[in-house]
Amino acid sequence: MHALIKLALPLAGVFACVLAQADTLESLPGGYRVSAASGISLQLEPPVLPDLSGYTAAAVQAKIQRKPEGRAVIKGMLHENSLDEFIGGEERLREWVVRQKRMPQAIFIEKGYMNSAALARQLPKSAFAETAPGIYLARLPIIVRQGATLHIDKDTKELRLSQEAGAFLVNDGRMFITDTKVTAWREKENTPAYWRDGKEFRPYFLAWGGTETYVVDSVISSFGYDASKAYGFSISQYSPGMAPKMKRARPTGWLLNSRFIDMWYGFYCYEADDVVIRGNSYENNIVYGIDPHDRSRRLIIAENEAFGTRKKHGIIVSREVNDSWIFNNKSYDNQLSGIVLDRSSVNNLVAYNETYKNYSDGITLYESSNNLLWQNRSMSNRRHGIRVRNSLGVSLYENILVANHLTGIYGHIKDLSGSERNFEEDPYETSVSMRIVGGQMIGNGSSPISVHSPSKLELYKLTILAPQKASGISFSGLLGERQGEIMDILLRQQQAVLIEPVGSLASKE
């Protein structure tokens, strides 16, 4: 959908009708002032994107230290800091007692480097075995200790983690997955552990604080279920209770040119820094495709595809995921939105993405201020092209919004007091302000733009074509009430429109 058909329509008559109804630039007490302003100050240079040239398979291979050889041992899972999240509570401990029919054990990789073949040499077949040439089955959890490296390499055709036996992967050191497949495996059916129910255990991957994780040219499938830190493929700092004790740096990693299929969450992170998610495909995952969370920083999410998410969004960053770049992604056919910025995620750049045929919005901002959306294409989404709720200082530049079922751009406030939101963790204001500059709004269903109760709204150089209504171009919300003035400033005066509250309304804002 890179090509865009240019539509030529007889809009002059529509604009003439609108201008004939124009009011003066005065506003009633308690209402809004609509005024003309110079658009020079609204001009922006294209944003500078991170250089991706260093994030390659060769760069990952150069990071691998293959000496000295490591050692694998089987030990009990109790009293292990890296496993406290999974066996610290009675209910989750019971999970592994039932599956292993004893006090639970795990495979621990000590200092040094190990790959799948080395694990098979050192461990009993009941724990880890090569079941066919290059195909390995793990029947115990595998934990990579601090100072150790596990490399699931190209000589491994597939590493299978037994669902029945309760296998999973925890990285507390360094993990490399290159040119291979890692699959949650249902032994009884001899198939991947395809999702059936969110509460059913499925193997998963988790990297803790202080770790590095690299996935390149690989396929990860059928991981995760609805339990803390077991979501699918996760990179997470230790929990607030453990982090002061562990004193580990924030985790990081690169995920490059890989496929993540049938995951509870395709990707999740918590308090991670500088994670690079580039060139991956997130296919038919359950809740989210990509979901960076809580206070993660400086993330690069670029050149990915996220599609077919069954419950929620293709790509979402939530709760203070700041100073990050989301660009050149495609997110489509997801149950809710294509891309979401949520819960005080600020100072992010969302640029050159394509979001289309999602069952809610193309791009959604919830309670997330001071973000820049630049030259995105949002097309044929079931609701809005771009939705902005309870967010201030949002800049929308040169976005192309085509054939969305409701509005091209929708801005509004909402009182969330009746929701389950924790207002100490997730504070917000019922205010919205936007700057909309350039771009095209073509054939959107109910209106090109609808903004309700803004504390400030700036419009400049808008191109609006192919209205769906027989009456022609028709704004809704506040813009609909002042459409004549707005069109006069944009079209005849060729200036920017500034809309601000006055009187009693201004004092409320």
Contact indicator for 99, 203 with CB cutoff of 8 Å: no
To the query of whether residue 151 is one of the catalytic residues in this protein, the response is no
Which of these, 325, 248, 240, 313, lies nearest to 51 by C-alpha position?
A: 325
The rounded distance, in Å, linking the Cα atoms of 57 and 54 is 9
The H or E element that residue 407 is part of is strand 407-412
Torsion over CA of 477, 478, 483 and 489, rounded to 10 degrees? -140
Query: Looking at this protein, which amino acid is placed at residue 138?
Result: A
What are the CA-CA distances from residue 16 to residues 24, 329, 366, 383 (Å)? 16, 40, 37, 30
Three-class SS of 188-225: CCCEECCCCCCCCCCCCEEECCCCEEEEECCEEECCCC
Q: Which of 2, 79, 293, 405 is catalytic?
A: 293
Tracing tokens 């299929």 back to the chain, one arrives at 261
**Percent of the chain that is helix, strand, coil (3-state, to 5):** 15, 35, 50
Query: Looking at this protein, which amino acid is placed at residue 334?
Result: N
Burial environment of residue 146 by CB neighbours within 10 A (0 to 12, 13 to 18, 19 or more): middle
Backbone angles phi, psi at 20, to 5 degrees: -65, -25
Contact indicator for 387, 32 with CB cutoff of 8 Å: no
Tokens representing 484 are 């004549």
Active site residues: 293
